Chains A and B, each alone.
Chain A
Amino acid sequence: MLTIKNGVNKKKKIHSDGVFTVVNYIILFMIFIIVAYPLVYVISASFSSSDAIIQGRVKLLPVDFSLAGYEAVFSNKSVWMGYANSFFYMIVGTTLNVITTIMIAYPLTRKDLIGRKLVIGMLLFTMLFNAGLIPNYLTIDYLGLMDKRLVMILPKLLNPFNVIITMTYFKQTIPKELLEASIIDGCDNFKFITKIVVPLSKSIIAVISLYYAVAHWNAYFDAMLYLKSVALRPLQLVLRDILIQNQMSAEMMSTMDPDSLQVQENLAVLLKYSLIIIASIPLMILYPFVQKHFVKGVMIGSVKG
């Protein structure tokens, strides 16, 4: 009796697990299509002819392959300038961010540091409470940072969230014994950090570098508030003008050699797709390299500690 019942149970189980697996693949496939399709569409559209896009002939792969959109984007000066500025803000900003983050995160993991609780309290408080738009704006103004390159870097020197995940990572991966042993070997704190802590923390450094880099590359609001000079503007502001406010420079249109208003409008659509691709490429290249560190870095960091 018992064996029969078990048999039935097993059959039922195998059957329902089979259903589960099928349903699971269906769910995954649907999510995959929904996320991937717009991405593929943009890429294909950027390599198609503008007529094909407007007439809706682009479905999955490029139709009437053309590089007209890219030619127009590449010949545009403001795009290049935005690109150069964004790279500058990203590289200088991220480097300083990572150094400063380590400078605060490591000391805060040392239990023998007096005043540690106070600094941690300050950090947590800034995570919960921010003075807000106007007081920040006025502070930047008082400090004389308006319309300076530094305004894209200094106010974002530290992100408390990244400090916390870095601290948690240090706590979990750098055993106390290591410090004790190094001190006996005549290592001081500076040496310990540069020779031992940093090399052991490659994953978390990779992860926070990516977070900071993404924030710098994608920043547009600060730039909009604080930068007035066109020469300092990052790519995102240039993008906003073209993608959202539909402000195409005359220069850009002339390289497209428009015959009529209609053709011009169609080309504008194509240009937007190419611009979207070009603006997103740097991070898309960067993130697969960091991806393998994600689980280790993010996981350890996000366990509350």
Chain B
Amino acid sequence: MKNCKMKNWRKSMKKNWQLYVLLIIPVAYLLVFRFAPMLGLQIVFKDFKARLGIFGSPWCDPAFKYFIKFFNDYNFVSIIKNTLVLSIYGLIAGFPLPIILALSLHYTRQKMIKKTIQMITYAPYFISVVVIVGLLRQFFQVRGGFVNQMIQILGFESIDFFANASSFPHMYVWSGIWQGIGFGSIIYIAALAGVDPSLHEAAVVDGATKLQRIRHIDIPSIMPTAVTLLILSTGQILNIGFEKVLLMQNSINTVASEVISTYVYKTSFESPVPQYSYSTAINLFQSLIGIILILIVNKIAQKYSESSLF
């Protein structure tokens, strides 16, 4: 049996050696840039000193010192809360809109209208975070920003949105939706195009209205896609759009904008004493929760909707 396997090995190697040659660079990449850093994760159990390096730094005592430090950090509750608020708000507000846009486009006969709207709604997806935050600053400016101009037209006092912690989550989430709605709808448009037309024909013969067809045919057909996307985004719950938050942050709105990942960044790169071990521990905590969430939601999805990721 073993012999036979060895033989197969050799035969396959000989026949497909070129495929193995192709794999060398990609696999080397994975090992060097994706797996090697995982060795560095041991610093969560060490008192990392740059001078001594990852392997030379002494083990810390107690082993979970940095995790304990995190749970006792006076920022702990607020950064967890901010992270959850931003991502769950984004998830709930952002999930149905691309589906609605996709359905709307799907039931639009005029090709011209359809094409134009697709073209325009995809565009913001290609704008960089830096530019998006730059736009937000311009639009929400107290003087001359067009949002405040509208507020003044309506007869209210202008508001300094960036100096106002309570408006931070709304600006963050809705600018994200503005940017992603069109691109997010592509996958649903494709799923809707794949619905068996005979289902619709049969429904029309039975006298179903368009709304009924959406409810009983289209929605169930795109459910698997929606569930898959939902599972994927749940895993990202703690992994909130770090770059954008960091760019939008200022000293006044940190109350609402300090999230796990920005805190990780600050404890290591913006603090006078870089705390590599500590911030890596926070980061690891975040990733582990993310994976656990994915697995749980995946299980639930398996049980109730028969569609899951793995």
Contacts and interface: CB of A to CB of B under 8 A. Distances in A.
Interface of A: 6, 9-10, 13, 16-17, 20-21, 24-25, 27-28, 31-32, 34-36, 38-39, 41-42, 53-56, 58, 100, 103-104, 106-107, 110, 112-114, 119, 122-123, 126, 128-139, 143, 154-155, 157-158, 188-190, 193, 214, 217-218, 220-221, 225, 236, 239-240, 243-244, 269, 272-273, 275-276, 279-280, 283-284, 287-288, 291, 294-295, 298-299, 302, 304
Q: Which of B101, B126, B189, B235 has its CB near the most chain A CB atoms (within 10 A)?
A: B126
Given A158-B26, A189-B19, A28 B129 contact: no
B102 to A, nearest CB: 11
A157 B279 contact: no
Q: Which 3 A-B pairs have the closest CB atoms?
A: A243-B134, A135-B40, A104-B26
B93 interface: no
B309 A135 contact: no
A279 B128 contact: yes
A137 B294 CA distance: 26
Interface string B184-209: 00110111011000000000000111
B18 A112 contact: no
Q: Which of A41, A134, A302 has its CB near the most chain B CB atoms (within 10 A)?
A: A134
B4 interface: no
Nearest to B103: A24
Contact of A138 (B29, B35, B37): B37
A178 B179 CA distance: 41
B144 A139 contact: no
Contacts of A272: 134, 138
B304 interface: no
Contact of B146 (A41, A136, A188): A41
Nearest to B283: A132
B189 to A, nearest CB: 7
Contacts of B18: 188-190
Interface string B2-35: 0000001100110110111011011101101111
Nearest to A41: B146
Contacts, number: 255
Contact of A295 (B19, B189, B209, B211): B189
A113 B138 contact: no
B163 interface: no
Contacts of B294: 128
B119 A126 contact: no
B186 A134 contact: no
A172 B228 CA distance: 20
B22 A106 contact: yes
Main secondary structure of the interface of B (DSSP, over half): helix
B211 A16 contact: yes
Given A103-B22, A283-B126, 12 more contacts: A10-B207, A28-B113, A106-B19, A114-B8, A119-B23, A132-B284, A139-B33, A158-B26, A276-B131, A276-B138, A279-B131, A288-B119
B234 to A, nearest CB: 12
Contact of A240 (B32, B43, B130, B279): B130
B299 to A, nearest CB: 15
Given A128-B291, A133-B283, A32 B138 contact: no
B178 interface: yes
Contacts of B122: 287, 291
B129 to A, nearest CB: 7
A112 B149 contact: no
B240 interface: no
Interface stretch (B74-82, B164-172, B251-259, B262-270): B262-270
Contacts of A39: 120, 123-124
Contacts of A132: 37, 41, 264, 280, 283-284, 286-287
Contacts of A220: 128-130, 243
A133 B268 contact: yes
A272 to B, nearest CB: 6
B72 interface: no
22 contacts: A20-B211, A24-B108, A28-B101, A31-B121, A32-B120, A34-B178, A35-B120, A39-B124, A41-B146, A107-B23, A131-B40, A133-B265, A133-B268, A139-B37, A188-B18, A190-B18, A220-B130, A236-B128, A243-B133, A269-B138, A276-B138, A287-B123
